[in-house]
Structure 1
Amino acid sequence: MRKLCLAAAMAAAASSATAGDLGKTSDGYTYFNKPGAQLAAHDADVRACRAMSARLHQPDTSPAVYAPGLAGAIGAAIGKAIVMAMNDAKARPVNVENCMVVRGWRVVALDPVAGEAADKLDTAAKAARIAPLIGAVEPEGTIVRVFDNDAATVQTSGMFSPARNTSKARLSVDAMGDPPDSDKPSKEKPAPAPKLAKSARPPSPLKPEQLGEIPADSALVVVNLQGVGAFSVNFERVGPDAKTPAWADGRPGAFTAAQPLKATAVAGGAGGTTLVYAVPPGQWRISSFHAGLFMASLCLGAPSFEAAAGDVIYAGSFDPASPSNRIGPDMMLEPYRAVFPALSGLGDKMRAATYVNGATGPCNGAYMYALELPERPFAEGYAFGSKAQPAPADAAAATPAPAPAPAPAAL
C-alpha cells in the first residue's frame, strides 16, 4: 500500500510544473541536478539566479484602497508595500527555478519521506546530504522539470498570473545557507540613469499615409498580432555592450507592438492587426511578452534579427490564443504584404526576419525565461536552453585514457 502511495505522490510531482507555466515552482522537496556537474558550478549558478531574481517584481494586483486623510493614505501605501514585498518574496524561488532550468539544470523531487527527513537537517548536514546528488547521472528521486522551451507554449495562466510557490523545500538552495551580502540587492542609491533623449523614445506604428516610403537611415519592421485583449510583444535593439543601452546613440532602442492601438495600419483582408515601425538599423531581439499587468522577460535568451537601412522585415505574427498552442512568431508573410500601397513596391521588398536564437539582455518584469525558435541557429557562445548540454553521462568516458606504455627498445 505504501508503495502505491509513493508512486501516486511521484506522479503528481512529475506533472506539477507543466509546459508554459513560468509562474510556479515544482512541487515537492526539490534540488537541482546536472549530470557530471560540480558543487561549485551549482552554487555559482544559484547565486547568479538569485541576484537576477532580486531585480524582478510582481505587479500590484491588489484592489485600490480609499483611505481619506493623510494618515489613511500613508497607512494604505504601507499596506500595499508590504503586500508587494510578500508577493516578490514568493516569486523569487519561481524565478530562481526558471533561471536554473534555462541554465541546463534539472529539477528533481526526492521521495516525500526522504525529502522531509532531509529538510529537517541543519544547514551543514543538509549540504552533506545534497552534495553527492548535484552531479549524479541517475539522480535520487524523480525528475519533475527540464528545459522545454516553455515560453513558446501558450498558457496565459502560467505566464501572466501571480506567482505560485508550491515547493515544500528547495533543498540544494537551502543547503547553501543565507545568500552573502554581495548577492542581496544593494541599499546604496543607484547612480543617475542616463537621460533618454526625445529622439530615442520608442516609435509609434506608422499611419497608413506614411507607408509609401522608408525614412532615411531606417528599416521598416512589420508585426502582426492576432486575437484581442491586452497582449503585446516588446522588441529591443541590442546595444554596443552589456552596460550601454542602444538608445544611448540618441535613436530608439525599443518598440512595443500592442493590440489594440488607436493608430494602426491594417493589412487588407488579413486577420488581426498589422503594425509597421520605422526603426534604426541594428540587431533587434524579442525582449518580452506582456499581458495585462504581467511581463515575461526573455532576457535569458531570445530570437533576434539584423535590420539594415532600407530593409523591410517581417518579424512574424503573434497569437496568444493560437489553435496550435504557440504564441509565435509565425513567419508566413504573404498575407501581410498588402499593408503597403501596391505602387510603393515595399510589399514585394518585404522579407521574413532571419532569426538567430540566444540574444540575452537585462531582466525585468515578473518572470524571466528564454524563447527558442525551432530550426534556427544559435548565437556564437550561447550555452543556455537547449544548448546547455550536461556533462557526459559516463564520467569515465570524459577521463582521457592513459597513454600506452612505450614499446621496449630494440636490442
Structure 2
Amino acid sequence: MHLIGRLLSLALLLPALPAMAQTGTASPGFNYFHRAGATLEVHEADIRFCEGEARKTVAQYVEAGHYDKPRPGLFNTALLNAVQLQFDRNQVQANIETCMLIRGWSVVRPPAADEQSLLGAHQASLVSYLSARVGAATPQGAEIRRYDPTLAIVYTMPGYASKPQESLSYRAVFGTEPPVFALPKAAEWPEEWQFLNRVKAPAALGPATTLLIVRTHGTRPGQQINLRFMRIEERASDSPALQVFQASSPTKMFWKAGTPMQDIYVFEVPPGRWLLLGDTISTFCLGAPGFEVKAGEAVFAGTFSSEVVGDLQPKMAVEPAAAALPPALAGRLRAAEWRNGYAFDCGSPPATLLRAFEVTGATSK
C-alpha cells in the first residue's frame, strides 16, 4: 500500500503499544522469539517462513530492490524513496513478529545487560545465545507480547526509525549486518479475480438466487470500517477462480454523533467457501474465519459495527437485517456458521499488515 495512503488511513489511529494485541509495529528492544520445547531448527524455519510472507506486503509500485529509481507522480523525490524504504523495512519486521506470534511464539526481551552485549555481537554468538533459550521451559527474560485472538486489533504505524526494528531472532537467522533490502514487488490482484457489486434491487431477485448479506452499523462519524470478503475454492470452469466484494460501515457528511446508521449489503454470489479476507489495510492470511454458502441459500454474514476500533466481531442475530429486506428475501435468511483457521497466500491480495482473526465462539476448521 502506498505510503501516503497509509498515512491518511492511520493518522487518527495511534494508541500506545499494548503488550498482547496484534499491532502494526514490532516490539521495542532487541528481542527473541520463545516457544517452550522448540528447537533452533524450528525457530529458523518459522522465521524464514514469516519473513517470506512479510516481504509480500511492501510497496506495490517499487521495482524489486530499486528504491533509488524515480517514481511517477507528485512525490517523486529521493528523500521520499528513502523514507519509503525505511517504512518497508520496519513493516517487514512488524509483520514477521505478528506471524511468529500467531504461530505460537512469544516475544521475550533479554535482561538489560544481555541486550546491550548482544547488540554488537556476531551472528554465531547470537545463535549460541538462543540455543538454550528459544525452547526453554520458561522465558529467560521479560515476555512482552504473545498472541491473544480475543483482543481487538490495534492499528499503529510500522514507523520510520533510522535503524530497522530487527529482532535478535532475525539477526541470528539472517546475519548481523544491516540487510540491503532487495524487497520484491508485492503481488498484484490476479487478473482472473472478479469483483462483485452489491445488488441494487433485492426485491427483484428470484427465489433460488444464491445470496450473501452483510449488515454494517455505526454511530460515530469519521470512524469507518471496510471489510473484504473472498471466495476461495477450486477453479470452476464457469467462473473466475476467486470472487471478492467489499462492505463498508455507513458514513455521511454532517452526521451527528450518536445518531445510528446502518447499511445492508446484498451480493449475488457463487456457492462455496467465503472468508473474511481482511479490513482496510490488513489481510487475515495467517488465519481467517469463513463459512459455507450452498446453492440457493441467502446467508447472513453478520452485523459489523464501527463502534470500537479493531473490534470486528460479527453479531449474528438476523432480525435487524431481515427488517430492512424485502419480505420474500427476509424469510430466506439464515445466519452463517463461521469456522476459524483458514490460511492463504499473504501476497494475494496485497495488504499492509498481516493478521489473523477469529470469530468468538466459532469452531476451528
TM-based fold match above 0.5: yes
Counterpart Cα distance in 2 of 1:249 and 1:71: 36
Counterpart Cα distance in 2 of 1:35 and 1:48: 19
Deviation at 1:358, TM superposition (A): 0.7
Match of 1:351 among 329, 334, 338: 334
Counterpart Cα distance in 1 of 2:136 and 2:287: 27
Match of 1:296 among 263, 266, 282: 282
Residue of structure 1 equivalent to 2:357: 371
Question: 1:346-399 deviations in whole A, cap 9, x for unaligned?
Answer: 2122111001101112223111011112221111xxxxxxxxxxxxxxxxxxxx
Q: Trace 1:122-141 onto structure 2 (pairs within 5 A).
A: 122-141=122-141
Q: CA RMSD in A?
A: 3.6
Q: Trace 1:215-364 onto structure 2 (pairs within 5 A).
A: 218-227=209-218, 228=221, 229-240=223-234, 249-250=239-240, 253-260=243-250, 271-290=261-280, 295-322=281-308, 326-342=311-327, 344=328, 346-363=329-346, 364=350
Structure 1 counterpart of 2:197, one-letter code = S
Q: Tell me, yes or no, if structure 1 residue 84 matches structure 2 residue 84.
A: yes
Find the residue that maps to 1:55 and give its secondary structure: helix
Deviation at 1:147, TM superposition (A): 0.8
Residue of structure 1 equivalent to 2:196: 203
Do the aligned partners of residues 316 and 18 (structure 1) sit closer, same or farther apart at CA in structure 2, a change above 3 Å counting?
Answer: farther
Deviation at 1:271, TM superposition (A): 4.2
Do the aligned partners of residues 84 and 298 (structure 1) sit closer, same or farther apart at CA in structure 2, a change above 3 Å counting?
Answer: same
Q: Trace 1:61-72 onto structure 2 (pairs within 5 A).
A: none
- Aligned residues, how many? 326
Listed as ranges, the gaps of 5+ residues in structure 2 are 1-15, 62-69, 253-258
- Provide the identity percentage: 25
Deviation at 1:49, TM superposition (A): 0.5
Q: Trace 1:95-106 onto structure 2 (pairs within 5 A).
A: 95-106=95-106
Counterpart Cα distance in 2 of 1:297 and 1:282: 20
Question: 1:92-126 deviations in whole A, cap 9, x for unaligned?
Answer: 11000000000001111111121111222211112
Greater mean deviation of Cα atoms: 227-236 or 161-170? 161-170
Do the aligned partners of residues 206 and 84 (structure 1) sit closer, same or farther apart at CA in structure 2, a change above 3 Å counting?
Answer: same
Do the aligned partners of residues 54 and 135 (structure 1) sit closer, same or farther apart at CA in structure 2, a change above 3 Å counting?
Answer: same
Greater mean deviation of Cα atoms: 162-171 or 28-37? 162-171
Deviation at 1:141, TM superposition (A): 0.3
Structure 2 counterpart of 1:277, one-letter code = F
Do the aligned partners of residues 248 and 108 (structure 1) sit closer, same or farther apart at CA in structure 2, a change above 3 Å counting?
Answer: farther
**8 A Cα contact 1:153 1:326, kept in partner:** yes
Deviation at 1:23, TM superposition (A): 0.8
**8 A Cα contact 2:313 2:360, kept in partner:** no
Find the residue that maps to 2:113 and give its secondary structure: helix
**8 A Cα contact 1:237 1:254, kept in partner:** yes
Question: 1:56-80 deviations in whole A, cap 9, x for unaligned?
Answer: 03699xxxxxxxxx99979825544
**8 A Cα contact 1:24 1:164, kept in partner:** no
Residue of structure 2 equivalent to 1:43: 44
Deviation at 1:185, TM superposition (A): 5.3
**8 A Cα contact 1:274 1:339, kept in partner:** yes
Counterpart Cα distance in 1 of 2:104 and 2:164: 20
Structure 2 counterpart of 1:235, one-letter code = F
TM-score, L = length of structure 1:
0.70
TM-score, L = length of structure 2:
0.78
Find the residue that maps to 2:291 and give its secondary structure: strand
Deviation at 1:307, TM superposition (A): 0.4
Greater mean deviation of Cα atoms: 80-89 or 96-105? 80-89
Q: Tell me, yes or no, if structure 1 residue 173 matches structure 2 residue 170.
A: yes
Deviation at 1:247, TM superposition (A): 9.8
Question: 1:19-56 deviations in whole A, cap 9, x for unaligned?
Answer: 44421111222100110111100000000111111110
Structure 2 counterpart of 1:226, one-letter code = H
Deviation at 1:261, TM superposition (A): 8.5
Counterpart Cα distance in 2 of 1:352 and 1:377: 15
Counterpart Cα distance in 1 of 2:175 and 2:135: 22
Counterpart Cα distance in 2 of 1:215 and 1:163: 51
